[in-house]
């Protein structure tokens, strides 16, 4: 498992370091493990696209730390998205988990999101990722560094720098061109970048 001190860094630094790491979610139905293939960094008061840009609220409270906790929120009235909190206690910042490759629990993941492409092998998009892991509002605030936690962050593998790509964030109304989205080159879990409903070629470093 990763230590909290390894996560208490700037989200822009944390995000690429999470690629190749494993998120494990355990529950009554079984266990699903995902290898992270795409993530997106969000800071706090200096990031117009961040939930914390306008200050602390009950909704974004977990994002203010301490690092290593899971920040889960509901979006568009239908989906949950999951983030790993970074920085230090009282300073907001997190990394959105956008996509991953399923290592364990493919059949369980498929039953949770039967319409997802890839037959349960890949979680393309943050809503599919959280569905595969079985995450919802009840998981908001869980400690990913606690061995007894239902959701844990495991070391996985280190992705070589030459395989990491970066480009604009997806689906944000502000700071759209900030290149704080990171992904593993040629991973089958990563979708083509879309802005205003049109697919674009992925950016390079």
Q: Which residues pair with 39 in a beta bridge?
A: 97, 182
On whether residue 162 sits in a domain, the answer given is yes
Range of the domain at 78: 4-200
The domain that contains 106 carries what CATH number?
3.10.300.10
Q: Considering the entire predicted model, what is its pTM?
A: 0.91
On whether residue 160 sits in a domain, the answer given is yes
Encoded tokens for 196: 């205003």
On whether residue 118 sits in a domain, the answer given is yes
- Give yes or no for a cis peptide into 41 (omega within 30° of 0): no
On whether residue 91 sits in a domain, the answer given is yes
**CA 10 to CA 169: how far, in whole Å?**
17
On whether residue 205 sits in a domain, the answer given is no
| 3-class DSSP assignment, residue 117 | coil
pLDDT tens string, the chain, 205 residues long: the values are 899 999 999 999 999 999 999 999 999 999 999 999 999 999 988 899 888 988 899 989 999 999 999 999 998 778 899 999 999 888 999 999 999 999 999 999 999 999 888 889 999 999 999 999 999 999 999 999 999 999 999 999 889 999 999 999 887 878 888 999 999 999 999 987 766 444 443 433 3
**How many folded domains does the chain comprise?**
1
All residues at 6 or more sequence positions from 179 whose CB lies less than 8 Å from its CB, including other chains: 166, 167, 168, 203
């Amino acid at each position: 498992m990763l230590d909290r001190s390894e996560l208490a860094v700037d989200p822009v630094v944390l995000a690429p370091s999470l690629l190749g790491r494993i998120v494990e979610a355990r529950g009554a139905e079984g266990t699903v493990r995902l290898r992270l293939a795409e993530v997106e960094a969000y800071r706090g008061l200096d990031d117009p696209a961040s939930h914390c840009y306008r200050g602390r609220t009950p909704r974004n409270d977990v994002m203010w730390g301490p690092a290593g906790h899971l920040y889960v929120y509901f979006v568009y009235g239908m989906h949950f998205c999951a983030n790993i909190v970074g920085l230090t206690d009282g300073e907001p910042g997190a990394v959105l988990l956008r996509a991953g490759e399923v290592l364990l629990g493919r059949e369980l993941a498929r039953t949770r999101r039967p319409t997802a492409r890839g037959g349960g092998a890949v979680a393309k998009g943050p809503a599919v990722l959280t569905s595969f892991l079985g995450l919802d509002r009840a998981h908001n605030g869980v400690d990913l560094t606690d061995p007894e936690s239902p959701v844990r962050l495991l070391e996985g593998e280190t992705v070589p720098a030459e395989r990491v790509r970066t480009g604009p964030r997806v689906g944000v109304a502000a700071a759209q061109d900030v290149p704080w989205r990171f992904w593993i080159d040629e991973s089958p879990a990563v979708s083509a970048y879309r802005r205003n409903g049109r697919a674009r070629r992925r950016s390079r470093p």
